Chains A and B, each alone.
Chain A
Amino acid sequence: KAGVTQTPRYLIKTRGQQVTLSCSPISGHRSVSWYQQTPGQGLQFLFEYFSETQRNKGNFPGRFSGRQFSNSRSEMNVSTLELGDSALYLCASSLGPSPYEQYFGPGTRLTVT
């Protein structure tokens, strides 16, 4: 069974630009969660989608948005990038929302210059 895949793996963007990251869950998984990892803040929850609906959202500004498609693939978008958005973005898939076990992808390393 293929694992969680994230594309792209690495990305360099300039301040003010916008970016879209993609996450393909494990086949059969209907829930996708997104996390941001920075050295100063650790791992922080962005949002959780289940069956195309956002179930939970973390404390991030409206520049961070996401969506889930009918095939459970998910995208997250960050508009008007700031230097502080430089981070590792991880997505995790699970059969359903918590408390189902989550399986993490390799992450997308975003650098904003």
Chain B
Amino acid sequence: ILNVEQSPQSLHVQEGDSTNFTCSFPSSNFYALHWYRWETAKSPEALFVMTLNGDEKKKGRISATLNTKEGYSYLYIKGSQPEDSATYLCQFFGNEKLTFGTGTRLTIIP
């Protein structure tokens, strides 16, 4: 069983503040890491696919970094907005397994 952990489990952030959270995964046999945003009553939406150590991806106010040697990825949200409220999931692909983390539930307080 692969351990893919996300922290924190939940987070409340004031609108306008920036925030970040972590996905930790096994550092051996890394192939790819996916980040998704999952809003209530909707399907998961792909944010980033990260494959190379040192990767940094950006989409609007959201960005992500990847460190495959130490086995972690950070997701950053700058200037949080109410529409950012969702569960953020990472998915590790390695050792021929696709494993999701348990997610970080983000709530933006207006």
B43 touches A33 (CB 8 A): no
Contact residues, B61-110 vs A (CB, 8 A): 89, 93, 96-100, 102-103
Chain A 83-113, CB-CB to B under 8 Å as 1, else 0, gives: 0000000101000001111111111000000
Q: Give how many B residues have a beta carbon under 8 Å from the other chain's beta carbons.
A: 19
Is B97 touching A98 in the complex (CB atoms < 8 A)? Answer: no
Are A102 and B46 in touch, CB under 8 angstroms?
yes
Q: Mark A44-55, 1 if CB is under 8 A from B, else 0.
A: 110010000000
A90 to chain B, nearest CB (A): 7
The complex places the Cα of A45 from the Cα of B92 at a distance, in Å, of 11
Which residue from A43, A92, A107 sits with its C-beta under 8 Å from B89? A43
Q: Is A77 an interface residue (CB 8 A)?
A: no
Q: Is A42 an interface residue (CB 8 A)?
A: yes
CA gap between A107 and B32 in the complex, in Å = 24
Q: Does A59 contact B (CB under 8 A)?
A: yes
* Closest B residue, CB atoms, query A97: B93
Which B residues are closer than 8 A to A by beta carbons?
1, 31-32, 34, 43-46, 49, 51, 89, 93, 96-100, 102-103
